Amino acid sequence: MTKFIIIIFMLFGWVASGTAWAQSWSVYGGDDGGSHYSSLTQINRDNVADLELAWSYQTGHIARYPKRPSFFAGFHVTPLLLPEQAGRSLVLCTAYNRIIALDPTTGEERWSFDPEMELGPIGLRFNCRGIAYWKDGEASDGAACQHRLFMGTRDLRLVAVDARNGERCHSFGDNGEVNILPMVVESYPQFKRGQVHFSSPPAIVGDVVILGSSDNTKFKSAINPIGYVRAFDARTGALRWRFDPILRSSSDPETEKQTEDAPAPIGSANVWSMMSVDAERDLVFLPTATAGANFYGVHRPGDNRYANSVVALKGSTGEMVWHFQTLHHDVWDDDLPAQPILVDLEKDGQKIPVVIQLTKQSLIFVLHRETGEPIYPVEERPVPTDGIPGEVLSPTQPFPTAPPALGSTSISPDDAWGLTLWDKAECRQKIADWRSGDLYTPPTLQGTITPGISQLNWGGAAFDPASNILVAPLSRVPGYIRLIPLSEVDPDLLKGRTAGLPSGPPGRIEGTEYAAEFGPLLSSFGVPCTAPPWGELVAVDLGDATIKWRVPLGTLDKVAPFGMPLNWGTALAGGPIITGSGLIFIGATADEKFRAFDLETGKELWKISTPTASMATPMTYEVDGRQFVVIASGGHMWSYPQKIADYLVAYALPEN
């Protein structure tokens, strides 16, 4: 039982214009709008059970760096299939930013490019979710770098290589790369390696390459980098524009205010997730994050207007077109985690160009793509405002009236659950001792129980244009946040390596008088304090904004005693894709399985064991008359750390 308890705890990662639907997959999300949809139909409901392993490939990135902890190397990439004229290779990036090109039919390596990255301190995490492909319409056929791949690196470079052979594009920047580190240091002189990095693929509008960034400072500091989104010329690497998500104009009435004793100018509201593009309208859509710090906003009163927002910019110039804020003055770390989905939605007999934005709170906002106006009404509802002293919280928060929230929006002691009466009572007492209630109950000195942690995340959702059905993986685990005056915290705890990390001891929030502790709400047995399923796959009909079905996602056979396949759902990381034959493919679970579901009913039609947990988003393509479905299988630092690997696996129907 002890081993079961420990592994369960590890399993959930809580230790210290209309879219052109893809036949291939040359963009991270299947198309510029991130629908994660393919019109391919060779694999269908009748034959999906016959899928078998077509090939398997190991990147070797773990073996290359044996002295670095393997669980810091995340392999969550979604590969791209390049067009015929670009070499028809399957291309991907490793955790350490090596670009690899494979034969899409056999998995044999064709070429690789190593940016020779400076790895820095041992404790840094590495991850590359994808790269971007671009064709230079002005270059002559066959010219070097007519077809380019762009990637942001962990050490703050934007690199460009020839998609056909992996050679550097020498005309881009300095020998094929732009060094963005000086740009970061200019606005944030106290920068330390690892605080800002790139993990998501760039977005491309016309001849402009657009890059967001991840910010690792916000859990532990109120002194944060500016979350600039930067755009570069795809041919030369010249900086074309940059967008600051914190409004600072002295002439604008919505300019962000800050207190006189603020430790630094307001920072972050960065874009760490994937962006989407409407090339016809020259628009790029940004899902912005929290302004710093994550759980403390005394120094940044007001809504923090562009943070936690869908922001539409002109791709060519960076000019603001519209924005819609999904959360005012965030102190819960509920930034926008998922790629905005751009589709034409059929509603009331009309096709409407929309943006679909998922939030960590399990809410779905459906907005008009040209104006940002809600398609389904959004209402401002009263929420609690009594947080820590000095925190000026918004008296209301936006809630879509439809579709309904996919997950939990409230929690009370009556929601407590346990494997036994003893741990159920323990969980009930934990919830009763701390503050609990509805969504947006603020962090307090008493401690606050939240209905869920990142219920929807970077795996996002997939959309079927034929049925208007949206499918998303949903985590259903409560959490806790507590702010503690520094005078009440043991100084030795603040020095620990896990201080300020999920489920770790309190970590100091630099620039404030507080430390913060947070994580999932678990019993002493290491299981969530609310009833399973803890992971689900949920389908929403966006035509009438109703939930169509929901099923548990993931079994506990890898962690339960005697391998019992309890269908209670697991920790999730990664997303789904949908095909034209009405199939959903998804890994994402902590049980080393890859599955196919029926889009119409949610019935599981196929599953297969993978080398480890496949916590990535798959993709599909057809080459030489054979359809392949491909997914990265690498485990996960938090959600499946017990088996880290570096496999890319492809499945197809038998050749005969």
CATH code assigned at 247: 2.140.10.10
- Please state the domain count of the chain: 1
Structural domain including 306 reads 188-407
Residue 365 lies in a domain: yes
Residue 371 lies in a domain: yes
State yes or no: pLDDT of 265 exceeds 90: no
Which are the contacts of 595, defined by CB distance < 8 A and separation ≥ 6? 585, 586, 587, 589, 604, 606, 607
Give the pTM.
0.95
DSSP-derived letter for residue 310 is E
Q: Assign residue 102 a region: left if phi > 0, alpha if psi is -120 to 50, beta otherwise?
A: beta
Grade residue 16 by pLDDT with cuts at 50, 70 and 90.
Answer: very low
Q: Measured between alpha carbons, how far is residue 213 from residues 4, 217, 261, 269 in Å?
A: 37, 12, 28, 10
Residue 421 lies in a domain: no
Residue type, 81: L
Mean local confidence (pLDDT), 553-570: 86
Per-residue model confidence as pLDDT tens digits over 291-307: 989 999 999 999 999 99
Per-residue model confidence as pLDDT tens digits over 516-549: 999 999 999 989 999 999 999 999 999 999 999 9
Residue 303 lies in a domain: yes
State yes or no: pLDDT of 21 exceeds 70: no
How many residues can be counted in the chain? 656
Range scoring the smallest mean pLDDT among 116-120, 310-314, 611-615: 116-120
Locate 508 and state its tokens: 């100091």
Q: How many CB atoms lie within 10 A of CB 455?
A: 29
Residue 353 lies in a domain: yes
From the list 252, 250, 289, the residue with the least C-alpha distance to 269 is 289
Return d(Cα 124, Cα 154) in angstroms, integer.
10
Mean local confidence (pLDDT), 256-264: 73
DSSP alpha helices (H): ranges in 137-214? Answer: 181-187
Return d(Cα 96, Cα 62) in angstroms, integer.
9
Q: Assign residue 79 a region: left if phi > 0, alpha if psi is -120 to 50, beta otherwise?
A: beta
Q: Which of the following is catalytic: 162, 333, 415, 646?
A: 333
DSSP-derived letter for residue 104 is T
Q: Measured between alpha carbons, how far is residue 320 from residues 370, 479, 564 in Å?
A: 12, 35, 53
Residue 202 lies in a domain: yes
Residue 537 lies in a domain: no
Distance, CA of 16 to chain centre: 21
State yes or no: pLDDT of 259 exceeds 80: no
544 is catalytic: no
Residue 354 lies in a domain: yes
